């Protein structure tokens, strides 16, 4: 399959999972189902009752995809050399433009880290202890820059683009796993290999960041995959067990394993975005990560065109083609175009 189609699949997949999951963001599973009268089956406006989602209309992506675009804008300007100061400056400009501080859009770690950057305060005391998923929620497009065998380069790069807000072991490992998932999905047609590649970067990712105490990401992914195999013919049972056992919160130890498990289960961005939207918890972030990997796996051409058209219409300030160009050029430089 054409490389550009796979890169576009990753980018549009991220926006799709993000926007589809937005209305139920940070609501419990049962509350969401009662409010929406069952499952979410299409793009809908963010409810005014949702403290975060009320900021968005249907098919608008949230801070997950918005911050991913900020990363790519920075890399284009710095000739693809991660610059934490430039990223932080652009993140802060984006946050102020989106009224992200006032509208409760930013995640807990990013909010404090960016405020510290704005005020000229060293944020390392916060970033070194981070346990939230801000590093992983925006990282999926970075995987498009590398081939899956470039593990060290990918992990170093993930650290470089994440350290403005996240420098702990679990947040670097989690972000590296999502990025590696995208890198592998672009070139492999067997999801078992994608899973193997995702797990292969976990240990080195932990070694790159500052030590925290939490469960291991890979162990939780393995549990999620086992659940996927046990409930291969029962989507609702699988989804509920992921919610109950793996977790679907903003902690990276829950959301990354949940995303990888759902991507493994669905292997299809059109199915993945809906399963994530109806999961409960951090639905937009889990959707962004999982659906990006699925989009990279099957390519843009396999995503429902009604979805991609509405994403373009509802996010008019985003030139998706330009960001795909940025990723293609970066892959030429960093991944040798392979």
Per-residue pLDDT of the chain (338 residues; tens, 9 = 90+): 599 999 999 999 999 999 999 999 999 999 999 999 999 999 999 999 999 999 999 999 999 999 999 999 999 999 999 999 999 999 989 888 888 787 777 888 888 888 887 888 888 888 999 999 999 999 999 999 999 999 999 999 999 999 999 999 999 999 999 999 999 999 999 999 999 999 999 999 999 999 999 899 999 999 999 999 999 999 999 999 999 999 999 999 999 999 999 999 999 999 999 999 999 999 999 999 999 999 999 999 999 999 999 999 999 999 999 999 999 999 999 976 44
Q: What is the pLDDT of residue 64?
A: 97
Does residue 278 sit in helix, strand or coil? coil
Structure-block tokens of residue 81: 């050399």
Does residue 112 sit in helix, strand or coil? helix
Output the CATH code of domain 3-334.
1.10.4080.10
Ranges of each domain in the chain: 3-334
Q: Are 32 and 55 in contact (CB under 8 A)?
A: no
Q: What is the pLDDT of residue 338?
A: 47
pTM of the shown model: 0.97
Length of the chain: 338
Question: Among candidates 196, 128, 188, 132, which has minimal Cα distance to 159?
Answer: 128
Q: What is the pLDDT of residue 1?
A: 59
Q: What angle do CA 220, 296, 22 make, to 5 degrees?
A: 70
Q: What is the pLDDT of residue 143?
A: 98
- In the annotated binding site for Mg(2+), the residues are 62-64, 282, 284-285
Q: What's the gap between Cα 34 and its chain centre?
A: 27
Q: What is the pLDDT of residue 96?
A: 86
Question: Alpha helix locations (H) across the chain?
Answer: 3-21, 29-36, 63-77, 84-97, 108-118, 124-127, 134-137, 151-162, 169-187, 191-200, 202-208, 217-230, 235-241, 252-266, 269-277, 283-298, 305-314, 320-334
């Amino acid at each position: 399959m054409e490389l550009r189609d796979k890169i576009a699949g990753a980018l549009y997949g991220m926006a799709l999972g993000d926007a589809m999951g937005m209305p139920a963001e940070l609501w419990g599973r049962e509350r969401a189902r009662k409010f929406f009268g069952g499952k979410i089956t299409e793009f809908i406006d963010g409810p005014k009752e949702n403290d975060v989602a009320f900021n968005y209309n249907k098919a608008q992506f949230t801070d997950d995809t918005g911050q991913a675009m900020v990363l790519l804008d920075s890399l284009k300007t710095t000739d693809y050399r991660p610059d934490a100061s430039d990223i932080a400056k652009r993140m802060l400009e984006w946050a102020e433009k989106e009224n992200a501080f006032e509208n409760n859009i930013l995640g807990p770690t990013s909010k404090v880290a960016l405020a510290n950057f704005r005020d000229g305060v060293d944020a390392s005391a916060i970033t070194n202890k981070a346990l939230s998923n801000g590093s992983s929620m925006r990282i999926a497009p970075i995987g498009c820059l590398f081939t899956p065998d470039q593990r060290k380069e990918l992990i170093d790069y993930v650290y470089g683009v994440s350290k403005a807000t996240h420098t702990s072991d679990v947040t670097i490992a989690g972000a590296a796993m999502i990025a590696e998932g995208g890198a592998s999905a672009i070139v492999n047609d067997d999801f078992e290999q994608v899973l193997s590649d995702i797990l292969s970067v976990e240990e080195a990712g932990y070694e790159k960041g500052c030590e925290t105490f939490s469960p291991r990401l890979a162990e939780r992914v393995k549990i999620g995959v086992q659940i996927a195999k046990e409930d291969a013919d029962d989507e609702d049972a699988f989804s509920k067990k992921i919610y109950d056992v793996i977790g679907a919160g903003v902690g990276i130890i829950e959301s990354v394993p949940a995303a990888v498990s759902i991507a493994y289960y669905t292997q299809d961005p059109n199915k993945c975005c809906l399963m994530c939207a109806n999961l409960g918890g951090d639905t937009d972030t889990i959707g962004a990560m999982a659906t990006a990997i699925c989009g990279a796996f099957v390519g843009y051409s396999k995503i429902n065109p009604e979805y991609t058209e509405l994403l373009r219409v509802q996010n008019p300030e985003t030139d998706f083609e330009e960001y795909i160009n940025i990723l293609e050029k970066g892959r030429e430089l960093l991944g040798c175009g392979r």
